[in-house]
Structure 1
Amino acid sequence: MQITKQPPVKTTLEPSNHPYLSGPWAPLHEEVDVAELEVIEGEVPADIDGIYLRNTENPVHQPLGRHHPFDGDAMVHQVSISRGKVSYRNRFIRTHCFTQEQIADGSLWGGLMDPPGTSKRPGFGAHGGLKDTGSTDIIVHAGVAYATFYQCGEAWMMDPETLDNLGKAPWGPIDGVSAHPKVDEETGELMFFNYSKHAPYMHYGVVDRAGKLVHYVPIPLPGPRLPHDMAITKNWSILNDMPLFWDAELLKRDLHAARIHEGLPTRFALIPRHGQPEEIRWFEADPTYVLHWTNAYEVKGEEGDEVVLEGYHQSKPMPDPLEEAGQYSHMMAYVDEHSFQSRLHRWRFNLTTGETTEERLSDRIVEFGMINPDYLMKPSRYLWSTTTRPGWFLFNGYVKHDTETGEEQVFELPEGVYASESPMVPRKGAASEDDGYLVTFLIDENTGTSELAILDAGDVTKGPICRLKLPHKISSGVHSCWVERGMLGSK
C-alpha cells in the first residue's frame, strides 16, 4: 500500500480516557492519499461505480471545558470505487474556526456542554456560542460536497473527488444551514432549513442546480426549537416543531438545556417546494422527537391524497441519566439510542381531512437508516437501519426491514467492531429494490485497525462480502453519503 502523507496539522490534544476521546472515538489527525487499497477478503464488486464520503469528529486541540462527541473538528474520509479498484483519501474541513485555531495553537471555542463565557471568541450557530465545525452531515449537490453542522453553520464545500477545500457556500443565509439538506436529482434542487433563537425561529430555502439561492422564506414558530432533519416529496418539503427544545427560563440566562415540554404535540409543516408561509399545511401528531427521516412520498389514499413520512420515533426523548457513566451520565444517555428508544415509524398526513395517522414499523431499537436512493420520494419497501451498542453511540450491526411483510434480517458485527453510517448502493442493472450493496467503514478495536467493507444489501446476514485495509484507524462520527460517478460531472 503506497501512502502519500499530507503536511501535519498542529495539535495540542492530550491523551484522555474520556469515552468519546478514546477507543473507537479516538481522534485521527493524519491526512493521507492511497492510490489503491489492499483487499483483505473477497472481491470488490465490478458493478458499482462512485464515491463514498464519511464525515467524522476529530478534535485537534485540548477542549476548553467538557468535551461532547459532537464538538470535534470535521474530517471527511473518501473511497472511490471503480471497475473493482478502490482508492482512499481523508482531509480535515478547513472551516473558519479550524483555521483560526490552527493560527492560535489552541481551542478558541467551548463545547455543547460548557457554560456561558467558556469561549474566547463569539460563537456560531443557533446555540450562539459554538464552533462551526461542519462535522455533522455530508451530501453532494451539483458535483460539490457540502459538510454541514447540526446547530446551523456556513455549509462548507469540498471537491468530492480530490477533497480539496472550496470554502463556504456562497448561497448560505445569515442564519446558516442546518445539517440534512435534501437533494432532488431530477430537478437538481437542494432544499435546506435553518433555525435560531430569534423570530421567526426557522427559515426554509431552495438552491438550484447552478448553486443559486432561488427561494428563501420564514417558517414562523412559537419560539426557539431544535429540529434536526427535514424530508421532501415531489411537491412538498416537510419541516417540524417538536416538544423537545431549550428550557425558556434557563435560556434567559444563556443556558442551553433541552427539555421535553409536556402537553405540546409534535407538529409538521408541509410547505410546497417553492411555497410561501401562508401556504403551509400544519399537521399534529403524538409528542416525540425524531433525529432522522428515511423517506417521504405522496400517495392516493382512500379518503384523499396523503403525504407519507417515515423515520425514527423516540419513545423517551428526554432519557434518564446512565448512572453507571458517572460524570458523563447525562451526555451518555442523550447519545444512546437504547436510552431515548428510537424505533422505525410511519406518519400519514391526509391533505383532504387534515388528519394524521401513525404506525410503528418495527419494535427494534434502530436509527441511521438508508433506502435505495432510486426510491427517494417514491413508495419504498426496504430500509437498512443500524443497531447500536447499548449505552454508546457506536453502530454494531444492521437490520434490513421489509415494510410490506414486517420481516427483518439482522447482522451483528463481532464484539469490538463498529460500523459507519452505510449508504445503500444499487447494483448496475439492478433487478429489484434491494439489489445492491451497503458500503461502510469498520473500526476494529481488537486490532486497532480500520477497513472498508461491502455487504450484500439483499442478504445482510452474510456479513461483509469484501473487506479492504485502510492505512490508519479512523474515528467514529455521524453521517455519510454515496454519489454515483455519473453525478460528479455536473459540477
Structure 2
Amino acid sequence: MTITRHPPVKTSLQPSNHPYLSGAWTPCHEEVDVDELEVIEGEIPADIDGIYLRNTENPVHQPLGRHHPFDGDAMVHQVSISGGKASYRNRFVRTHCFEAEQIAGQALWGGLMDPAGTSLRPGFGAHGGLKDTGSTDIIVHAGVAYATLYQCGEAWMLDPVTLENLGKAPWGPLDGVSAHPKVDEETGELMFFNYSKHAPFMHYGVVDRAGKLVHYVPIPLPGPRLPHDMAITKNWSILNDMPLFWDEALLERNIHAARLHEGVPTRFALIPRHGQPQDIRWFEASPTYVLHWTNAYEDGDEVVLEGYYQDKPMPDPIEEAGQYSHMMAYVDEHSFQCRLHRWRFNLATGECTEERLSDRIVEFGMINPDYLMKKSRYIWSTTTRPGWFLFNGYVRHDTQTGEEQVYTLPDGVYASESPMVPRKPTSGSEAVAREDSGYLVTFLIDENTGTSELAILDASDVTKGPICRARLPHKISSGVHSTWVEHSQLRADAQFRRSRLAA
C-alpha cells in the first residue's frame, strides 16, 4: 500500500466534545491517494468494476457559533474497484467559500442553528445566510461528479476518477441547485430542482448529456418551502410541497425556524419531464415530511412513489442531550420516526392512495440501479443508533412478500450510505437475473479501534455481514450521501465527449 499525502489545509478547529465534532464525526483533514488497499478479510469480488463516492460534512474551522452536523465542509471519499483490487483517495471540495476561509484562516459563515448576523460575510442558498459547502449529496452525470448542498448552492464539479476540482457547474441557475438531482442514464439527462424565499419559490430543470441546461421552469408554490428530494419516472418528474417549512412570521424577522403547519396537506407536483407549469398534475396526501425517496415508476394509469414517511416531523427534544436536545432530535430517525411508505397517483381519477411498507424505523435507502424508474421489489435501507445520526446496520426489504433481512453492526461500528452494485452477468448464470443479485459497498468507522475500512456485503443476504473488508489509511468522518458509477458508464461518457469534439 503506497500512500501519497497532499499538502495540509489550514485549519483552526479545536478538539471538542460536541457530539458531531467527536467520535465517529471527528473531522478528517488529511488528503491522500492510496494505490491499493490492504484487504484484511475475504476477497474483493472480481465482478465489481466501478467507483464509490461518498460526501462528508467535514468542518475545517472553529465554528463562529453553534455547530450543526450539516454545517461542515465537503470532503469526498472515493474507492475505485476493478479486477479484485481497490484504490482510495479523498479531497475537499474547493468551493468559493472554502477557498475564502482558507485565505482568512478562520470560519467566515455561521451555521444552521446560528442567529442572523453571525456570519462575517453575506451567505448563500435558500436560507441566504449560510456557507455554500456542497457537502450534502454526490452524483455522477455525463462523466462529471457533482457535489450539491441541501440549501441550494452551486453544483460543484469534480473528476470522479482523480477527484480533481473542476469548479462550479456552468449550467447552474441563479437560485442554485438543491441536493438530490436525478440522472436517467438511458437518455443522459439530469433533472434537478431548487427552492428559495421569493416567488415562485421553486424551479425545475433538465440538463442534457452534453451538460447544457435545456429546460428550466417555475413550480409556483404558496410560499417558501423546504423540499429535500425529488423522484423521476420515464415521463414524469415528481416534486413536493410539504407542511414542514419555515415559520412565516419568524421569517419576517430573519429567523429560520421550521414548523409543522397543522391542517396543511402534503402536495405532490407531477410535471412531464419537459413540461410547463400548466402541465403540472397536483395530488394531495396525508401531512408528513420526507427526506428521501427510493424509487418511482409508472404502472398503468398510476405513478408509484416510494420513500420514507415521517410519523413525527416535529420531534420532541432528547432531554438527556442537554444543550443539544433539539439538534439531536432533528437528526435522529427514532425521534422523527421515518418508515418505508408508498404513494400511488392515479392520473385518470386524480386520487392519491397510500400504504405503509414497513413498521421498522429506517432511512437512506438504495435500490438496484438497473431498476430505477421501473417496478422494483427490493430496497436496502440503513438503520441508526437511537438518538444519533449514525448508521448501525441494514435492512433488505422485500416489498412483494414483506420479508425483511436485518444485519446490525457490532457496537461502536458505523456504516455509510451504501449503494447497491448489481453483479455482472456471466455466461449461463441464473443468479444475475435476480434483482437482489449484487453487493452493498460502504465505509465503516470503528470507534473501538479508531480505524476505517472499505466493506462489501452480499446484497442478497445482508445477514452475513461484510464478505470483504479493506483497511483505509486513516479514520474518516461519518458522512451523508454516496453514489456508485460503473467504469463502463464513465467510458461511454468519455466516448460521447470525444464524438462531440470530433463533430
Q: Which among 327, 330, 349 is matched to residue 334 of structure 1?
A: 330
SS at match of 1:9: coil
* 1:325-360 deviation line (CA, Å, top 9, x unaligned): 000000000000000000000000000000000000
Residues 1:171 and 2:171 are matched in the alignment: yes
Matches within 5 A, 1:179-190: 179-190=179-190
Q: Please tell me the residue identity of whatever aligns with 1:75.
A: M
Q: In structure 1, how many angstroms separate the alpha carbons of the residues matched to 2:222 and 2:379? A: 34
Partner of 1:28: 28
Give the superposition deviation at 1:57.
1.2
Residues 1:358 and 2:354 are matched in the alignment: yes
Partner of 1:131: 131
Partner of 1:313: 309
Partner of 1:2: 2
SS at match of 2:359: coil
Matches within 5 A, 1:198-217: 198-217=198-217
Give the superposition deviation at 1:112.
0.2
Q: In structure 2, how many angstroms separate the alpha carbons of the residues matched to 1:273 and 1:2? A: 47
* 1:277-301 deviation line (CA, Å, top 9, x unaligned): 000000000000000000000001x
Identity of aligned residues (%): 87
Matches within 5 A, 1:245-394: 245-300=245-300, 305-394=301-390
Partner of 2:489: 487
Q: In structure 1, how many angstroms separate the alpha carbons of the residues matched to 2:362 and 2:390? A: 12
Give the superposition deviation at 1:42.
0.1
Q: In structure 2, how many angstroms separate the alpha carbons of the residues matched to 1:355 and 1:428? A: 40
* 1:223-261 deviation line (CA, Å, top 9, x unaligned): 000000000000000000000000000000000000000
Q: Which among 435, 454, 457 is matched to residue 456 of structure 2?
A: 454
SS at match of 2:198: coil
Q: In structure 1, how many angstroms separate the alpha carbons of the residues matched to 2:405 and 2:359? A: 13
SS at match of 2:489: helix
Q: In structure 1, how many angstroms separate the alpha carbons of the residues matched to 2:356 and 2:58? A: 36
SS at match of 2:361: coil
Q: In structure 1, how many angstroms separate the alpha carbons of the residues matched to 2:261 and 2:334? A: 21
Partner of 2:59: 59
SS at match of 2:433: coil
What's the TM-score, normalizing by structure 1? 0.99
* 1:181-200 deviation line (CA, Å, top 9, x unaligned): 00000000000000000000
**Structure 2 residues not aligned, in runs of 5+:** 426-431, 495-503
Partner of 1:191: 191
Matches within 5 A, 1:215-230: 215-230=215-230
Matches within 5 A, 1:404-483: 404-429=400-425, 430-483=432-485
Q: In structure 1, how many angstroms separate the alpha carbons of the residues matched to 2:57 and 2:190? A: 25
What's the TM-score, normalizing by structure 2? 0.97
Moved over 6 A (4+): none
**Structure 1 residues not aligned, in runs of 5+:** none
Q: In structure 2, how many angstroms separate the alpha carbons of the residues matched to 1:279 and 1:44? A: 48
Give the superposition deviation at 1:431.
2.6
Aligned-residue RMSD, C-alpha = 0.4
Aligned length: 487
SS at match of 2:8: coil
Q: In structure 1, how many angstroms separate the alpha carbons of the residues matched to 2:350 and 2:136? A: 34
* 1:339-391 deviation line (CA, Å, top 9, x unaligned): 00000000000000000000000000000000000000000000100000000
* 1:22-81 deviation line (CA, Å, top 9, x unaligned): 000000000000000000000010011000000011100000000000000000000000
